[in-house]
Structure 1
């Protein structure tokens, strides 16, 4: 059998703080997930996206070390329009999250922005720019 990509894990210092951020991006978690050491959601196509507290990770890997913020992996959320990229970015900044890159029109044809989640992970927001004939 060939291995199949199935799971993306995100290490977090505080589950409730992290899930609050991702709920603002439409991720559905039950309220009791805030007190759990592990939370996950199923994505279209069967993939799973999961959050584990650092304490939980260290329960099975005591030598685990947290990566540095901005360490090359990011999560990306597609938005319905360029205006929605701007709106969601502004709402997250207003809620106290750190913008890594303000919205801009990328040369590859997308409105793009990057914000940091509570643990410093890069989270990209993007939408296709309108095409001009």
Structure 2
């Protein structure tokens, strides 16, 4: 099975300003969400869009530094199970792609890993730890 494209995540420096922008475009961002460190909505297609503050990202990736002139978005692919996260990470890094965060069991209940695409865009691989 191949991973299922599930979420687009954007890292923001000003959650309120960012969410206001997307609300203007008609996205259903809940009222009061601008005070949260992580905001997530499900689009009509089922694809999810999420925003995280820099501090939220640094909570699990302490060395994170916002890019200058590079990508400010990450693509996320849902895998069937935790073993698939490990398998896809191994497959992609063996093919020469940069592995940024090796697979780990995240505090939010997922097996999680990050690989960079050829342009340096982070591609997250994840699966729930429990079915």
Aligned residue number for residue 20 of structure 2 = 20
Shift in Å, 1:71: 3.7
Secondary structure, aligned partner of 1:29: coil
8 Å Cα contact 2:66/2:72 also seen in 1: no
- Compute the TM-score of the two structures, normalised by the length of structure 2: 0.51
Structure showing greater Rg: 1
- Compute the TM-score of the two structures, normalised by the length of structure 1: 0.50
Between the aligned partners of 2:29 and 2:48, the Cα distance in structure 1 is 13
Between the aligned partners of 2:24 and 2:31, the Cα distance in structure 1 is 14
Show structure 2 runs of 5+ residues with no match. 74-131
Aligned residue number for residue 67 of structure 1 = 67
Show structure 1 runs of 5+ residues with no match. 74-133
CA RMSD of aligned residues (A): 2.2
How many residues are paired up? Answer: 74
Aligned residue number for residue 45 of structure 2 = 45
More helix by percentage: 1
